[in-house]
Structure 1
Amino acid sequence: MTFQAPLIIDIAGTRLTDADRARLSHPLVGGVILFARNWRDRAQLQRLCRQIKRVRSDLLIAVDHEGGRVQRFRSDGFTHLPPMRAFGRLWREAPETRPGEAALAACNAATAAGYVLGAELRACGVDFSFTPVLDLDHGRSEVIGDRAFDGDARVVTLLAQALMHGLRLAGMAHCGKHFPGHGWAEADSHTELPVDGRPLQTILNEDAAPYGWLSAALTAVMPAHVVYPQVDARPAGFSRRWLHDILRAELGFTGAIISDDLAMAAARVLDGREVSPTEAALAALQAGCDLVLLCNQSTVDDGEPIDDLIEGLSRALFEGRWVPDETAEGRRRALLPQGEALDWDALMADARYQRALELLP
């Protein structure tokens, strides 16, 4: 049986400590997520990624690197990518001499952005980015805002597909987020629990539509820490109804499901009571997540929350309160990059990369 490694954790600094190495070598840990605090320059990031891979070559090195205001690495040559709204505006506002010309130009630019994003990260040793955002811009959510391509699900789908194609050209997988949609709920799930009270059919016809249309192409999906009370009392990331019955069975998604950060306020209360990260992780895994994220905890009490989660999940496994999914590990490993990456100097001289830079809005 292939053992499931569902935990994605963080590290505190710009190089690994002995405590980091011990955590990353644990068989329940499947990946590490990097933040701006883990960045000084490209050479340091490359060394850090090599250190991580020396601990275990199969660890997934991930980052939230979308463009716009969500981009962890911004200096020492990294391209400042535009927010996704820029591609939606190009679709709608670019001049055209023939119908559809602006839409095609926007898709070409989105493919270029995906390639630049993926190729630059891979040149530094990073495997995976949590992008694209598939949320619709309803003009209601500040936490989503210009991270969304557009308010029309069809435009979002085609621009996201183009971005995903660019990532794949760089050998990088992708993660659509935040299923079934965070654009209608106004609250920020980092600090409170958002609620979207619309009926299921409205959500499926609008916000969740890109997940069905892209179900054969998406390699991963991140569910929202949002409650949709007409569907389930639990947030989507802890709901078997959303993850198994709708995302898997109805929409046909077969890739990895990765929880949003379990340290966020919206993930810390379930069924009306406050829960620990271990309880939240178990609820997410039992609902259908393959991987669970716990972020920004390595700097809290010397990483005690991470150690507690590893110990808690180990105990749940030993006591039979959690039964690993034999198929989940294959979905995790499918997120590792494909093919050899160009190093930074080779990338700077690459004709495709240079053309992609020219196409960015």
Structure 2
Amino acid sequence: MTSTNSPQVRSRSKLLGPLMIDVGGLELTAEDRELLCHPLVGGVILFTRNYRDPEQLKKLCDDLLALPRPRLLLAVDHEGGRVQRFRVGFTRIPAMRTLGQLHDEDAGKALAEARQQGATIAAELSAYGIDLCFAPVLDIDNGVSQIIGDRAFSDRSDVIVALARAFRAGLNAGGLAATGKHFPGHGAVTADSHLELPVDRRKEDDIRATELAPFRALIDDGIESLMMAHVRYSNVDPQPASLSKRWVQDILREELGFKGAIFCDDLSMGGAAVVGDMEARARLALEVGNDMLPVCNDRPAALRLIDALARDVRPDRAASSRLKALYGRHAGASA
């Protein structure tokens, strides 16, 4: 792997690189420390394997934030229900579908609860220096996707918008940015994009009239970041949305006017494999306009990718600025 001690590396030290990687255990190894100081790495995503108890997590996050480099962006999938990496010692967050069900009975109570759940997540994660919980889910549950299912607030876009706005307000009040996912909508396909590429064969007009509504509303509100879907919308573009210039640049950036940070979904997932090996996926993801590329659960692939990209890829100033805007309130001068 390219040395992190060269003058060339130090000269770019103020920019965040485009790769978000993971670590294997409860504490940093020597290899972790070297890899995380590479200029192409800008973030870390934490998993259940990185958590034993609050004291251990605090030490791990402190070590990550103390590395001799620009402050890493720290993230975790912590949206509630079955997607909550830290449990013992943390408030158990219910699946977002429970809020949608409550909304059908008492909208005001549901909105207050959504805000409180966001505020709770923000308070607990920010205490460790974590910036992002990769939520809220803005997908519409069309009743066919097991991978989305009760992670979605509702099968109605108006309910999703109302609850997502309240949830985001709670996150923001606690000092965290929000990440809406999975653009342009993952809830109408049956396949699991962790394993294969789902295909949505609906007409573009139908997708725009349904799936885009929650994203459009939150974009108009100024949501800070979005995550792309590894889903092929075959009547829009043959490439997965996450690797599609049509979706990322033409629709998300230009048409919808999104100004925030764009995360690709994990490039190790089966849904991204259709375009080639890890290097091919990463190069295409950057080419179409993703700001940060998670590469998870495959350290050998991450090492090979960094060596390959280091030949000609440099951290991008505009992307780095968008990513740094996601630092939590606790970041302060360390940014």
**Structure 1 length-normalised TM:** 0.86
Amino acid of the structure 2 residue aligned with 1:89: Q
**TM-aligned CA deviation for residue 340 of structure 1:** 7.3
Partner SS, residue 311 of structure 2:
helix
Distance 1:137 1:308 in 2: 37
**TM-aligned CA deviation for residue 339 of structure 1:** 4.4
CA contact (8 A) 2:22 2:297 kept: yes
Query: In the alignment, what sits opposite 1:252?
Result: 257
**TM-aligned CA deviation for residue 218 of structure 1:** 1.0
CA contact (8 A) 1:225 1:266 kept: yes
Query: In the alignment, what sits opposite 2:211?
Result: 207
CA contact (8 A) 2:129 2:331 kept: no
**TM-aligned CA deviation for residue 326 of structure 1:** 2.9
Amino acid of the structure 2 residue aligned with 1:49: C
Query: In the alignment, what sits opposite 1:288?
Result: 289
Query: In the alignment, what sits opposite 2:271?
Result: 266
Distance 2:280 2:223 in 1: 28
CA contact (8 A) 2:129 2:330 kept: no
Q: Structure 2 matches for 1:15-164, cutoff 5 A? A: 15-55=27-67, 56=69, 58-75=71-88, 77-92=89-104, 94=105, 102-164=106-168
Name stretches of at least 5 consecutive residues in structure 1 with no aligned partner. 95-101, 298-302, 318-322, 342-361
Equivalent of 1:310 in 287, 306, 310: 306
CA contact (8 A) 1:211 1:251 kept: no
Equivalent of 2:247 in 218, 242, 253: 242
Distance 1:307 1:339 in 2: 30
Distance 2:76 2:317 in 1: 26
Amino acid of the structure 1 residue aligned with 2:119: Y
User: Could you report, residue by residue, the CA deviation over 1:324-353 in whole angstroms, capped at 9, with x for unpaired residues?
Assistant: 543111001011102479xxxxxxxxxxxx
CA contact (8 A) 1:65 1:130 kept: yes
Amino acid of the structure 2 residue aligned with 1:35: F
Partner SS, residue 89 of structure 1:
helix
Distance 1:200 1:247 in 2: 14
Structure 2 CA distance for partners of 1:305 and 1:340, relative to 1, 3 Å = closer
Partner SS, residue 315 of structure 1:
coil
Partner SS, residue 211 of structure 1:
helix
Distance 2:197 2:327 in 1: 32
User: Could you report, residue by residue, the CA deviation over 1:263-311 in whole angstroms, capped at 9, with x for unpaired residues?
Assistant: 00111112xxxx12121011011111000000112xxxxx321111111
Matched residues, percent identical? Answer: 48
Distance 1:85 1:160 in 2: 12
**TM-aligned CA deviation for residue 124 of structure 1:** 2.4
Partner SS, residue 37 of structure 1:
helix
Distance 2:139 2:231 in 1: 12
CA contact (8 A) 1:132 1:176 kept: yes
Equivalent of 2:327 in 336, 350, 359: 336
Structure 2 CA distance for partners of 1:240 and 1:340, relative to 1, 3 Å = closer
**TM-aligned CA deviation for residue 51 of structure 1:** 0.4
Paired residues, number? 318
Amino acid of the structure 2 residue aligned with 1:69: R
Query: In the alignment, what sits opposite 2:225?
Result: 220
Amino acid of the structure 2 residue aligned with 1:37: R
Query: In the alignment, what sits opposite 1:171?
Result: 175
Partner SS, residue 79 of structure 2:
strand
**TM-aligned CA deviation for residue 155 of structure 1:** 0.8
Query: In the alignment, what sits opposite 2:3?
Result: none
Distance 2:44 2:331 in 1: 21
Distance 1:290 1:231 in 2: 22
Distance 2:97 2:45 in 1: 25
- Considering only aligned residues, what root-mean-square deviation do their CA atoms show, in Å? 1.5
Distance 1:154 1:117 in 2: 24
User: Could you report, residue by residue, the CA deviation over 1:129-160 in whole angstroms, capped at 9, with x for unpaired residues?
Assistant: 11010000110100000000001111101101
Distance 2:189 2:300 in 1: 33
**TM-aligned CA deviation for residue 201 of structure 1:** 1.4
CA contact (8 A) 2:15 2:70 kept: no
Name stretches of at least 5 consecutive residues in structure 2 with no aligned partner. 1-11
